């Protein structure tokens, strides 16, 4: 080779180089470690042979559309290995006609945009269903108002108020489905207020059977978004955890910097994780999980995750996940405006991390002074294994 290959061994990014015919001439140590083989086993193999369940890489080498090409969501493995590796790849032509391949590993499955996958027939069926739901929702609203008038204690009035607010939110969702309108302008919001609303719903749905834990970063700034839509998205994710027979569900918020979402790099991003210890995502659904009508439950509609990802895209964000039995993490990334400063505390932040939502002795969620302020930014050991 006319270049010093030792320099590539210092890189943490897996890199391979091949000749004009697409045959591997070498790879750095990071590539060998990533594939789980020794570096000497790489040369001589067709580069396209490292991609499994597809020929995207082989076609790009055979008929390159240009001198540089980005390839998304490739599955890599050393020939003969049954352990797939997932990565986005950058293919760049060398001056001598050969190619460089950079692999950028990813541990999470992004989903296809459900807006492009939902056929018009299903859309019409959903509109018919939405129309049929209008009358029951109106009845629920009236019943809640009557119960509110008869409520004798504060807790009963709070619960009837929760019913009324949820009925109003669902009615608004149905109105949007029946009569599509431009998205509402995003307004500054405290993401922890959204999460508290979701946790209140989860408490009433699961009772004491599930331990709900807050792991908040109290220094987060306000986020521009639609509170109702975000509530719906997060509630769908939490409800999925409850339906997966989880006994422990944690909501975790942190700020990440220099994060790529799609083709855009954002200086600061809110990372909201919903972590549960349920039975996990079946391997057979891994690639189609975010598509409409895909569900791991016989009684499931398969629309919750599709809607959650649509909400993420409305906020220029993304939704992804990683899962194994006993540990599933759904990660919602929401970018901050460039001028936001995550290290500036915001007023009226709900409690910090580590507090169980259904702990009976807990102080009200709006009283941060009485909460445990532990908010370690590192992952717990089970979490770190997947990161």
Task: Please compute the mean of the pLDDT values over residues 169-175 and round it to a whole number.
Answer: 72
Q: Which residue has the higher pLDDT, 65 or 69?
A: 69
pLDDT band at residue 351 using 50, 70 and 90 as cut-offs: very low
**pLDDT value of residue 194:** 95
Extended strands (E) in 162-239: 187-189, 211-215, 223-225
Average pLDDT, the chain: 75
Task: Please compute the mean of the pLDDT values over residues 337-350 and round it to a whole number.
Answer: 50
Where does a domain end: 43, 73, 105? 105
Task: Please compute the mean of the pLDDT values over residues 168-178 and round it to a whole number.
Answer: 69
Q: Which residue has the higher pLDDT, 162 or 222?
A: 222
Q: To the nearest whole percent, how much of the chain has pLDDT over 70?
A: 70
CATH code of 42's domain: 3.30.450.20
Q: Which residue has the higher pLDDT, 111 or 41?
A: 41
Where does a domain end: 40, 70, 105? 105
Q: How many domains does the chain have?
A: 2
Asked if the structure places residue 143 within a domain, the reply is: no
**Does 347 score more than 50 pLDDT?**
no
Of 187-196, 254-263, 376-385, least confident by mean pLDDT is 376-385
Distance in angstroms (rounded) separating the CA atoms of residues 310 and 180: 15
Asked if the structure places residue 96 within a domain, the reply is: yes
Identify the domain containing residue 39 by its residue range. 5-105
CATH code of 338's domain: 3.30.565.10
Task: Please compute the mean of the pLDDT values over residues 204-233 and round it to a whole number.
Answer: 90
Same domain, residue pair 270 and 361: yes
**Does 366 score more than 70 pLDDT?**
no
What would the pLDDT profile of 16-47 be if each residue is shown by its tens digit? 999 988 899 999 999 988 888 888 899 999 98
Write the DSSP string, 265-323.
EEEEEEEEEEEE-SS---GGGTTTTTSTT--SSTT--S-HHHHHHHHHHHTT-EEEEEE
């Amino acid at each position: 080779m006319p270049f010093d290959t030792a320099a590539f061994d210092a890189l943490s990014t897996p890199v391979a180089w091949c000749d004009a015919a697409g045959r591997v001439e070498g790879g750095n140590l990071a590539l060998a470690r990533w594939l789980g083989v020794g570096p000497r086993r790489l040369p001589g193999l067709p580069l396209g042979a490292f991609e499994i369940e597809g020929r995207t890489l082989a076609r790009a080498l055979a008929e390159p559309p240009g001198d540089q090409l980005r390839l998304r969501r490739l599955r890599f493995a050393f020939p003969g290995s049954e352990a797939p590796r997932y990565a986005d790849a950058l293919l760049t032509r060398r001056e001598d006609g050969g190619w460089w391949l950079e692999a950028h590993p990813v541990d999470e499955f992004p989903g296809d945009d459900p807006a492009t996958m939902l056929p018009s027939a299903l859309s019409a069926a959903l509109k018919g269903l939405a129309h049929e739901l209008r009358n029951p929702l109106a009845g629920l609203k009236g019943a809640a108002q009557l119960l509110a008038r008869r409520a004798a204690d504060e807790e009963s009035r709070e619960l009837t108020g929760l019913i009324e607010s949820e009925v109003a939110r669902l009615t608004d969702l149905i109105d949007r489905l029946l009569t599509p309108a431009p998205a509402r302008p995003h307004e500054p919001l405290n993401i922890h207020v959204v999460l508290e609303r979701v946790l209140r719903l989860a408490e009433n749905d699961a009772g004491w059977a599930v331990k709900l834990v807050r792991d908040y970063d109290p220094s987060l700034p306000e986020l521009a978004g639609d509170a109702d839509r975000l509530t719906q998205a997060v509630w769908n994710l939490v409800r999925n955890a409850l339906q997966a027979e989880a006994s422990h569900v944690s909501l975790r918020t942190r700020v990440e910097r220099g994060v790529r979402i799609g083709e855009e790099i954002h200086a600061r991003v809110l990372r909201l994780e919903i972590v549960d210890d349920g039975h996990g995502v079946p391997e057979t659904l891994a690639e189609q999980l975010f598509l409409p009508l895909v569900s791991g439950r016989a009684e499931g509609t398969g629309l919750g995750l599709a809607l959650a990802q649509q909400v993420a895209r409305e906020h220029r964000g993304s939704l992804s996940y990683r899962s194994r039995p006993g540990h599933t993490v759904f990660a919602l990334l929401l970018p901050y405006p460039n001028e936001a400063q995550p290290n500036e505390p915001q007023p009226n932040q709900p409690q910090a991390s580590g507090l169980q939502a259904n702990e009976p002795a807990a102080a009200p969620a709006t009283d941060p002074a009485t909460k445990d302020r532990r908010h370690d930014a590192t992952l717990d050991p089970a979490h770190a294994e997947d990161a």
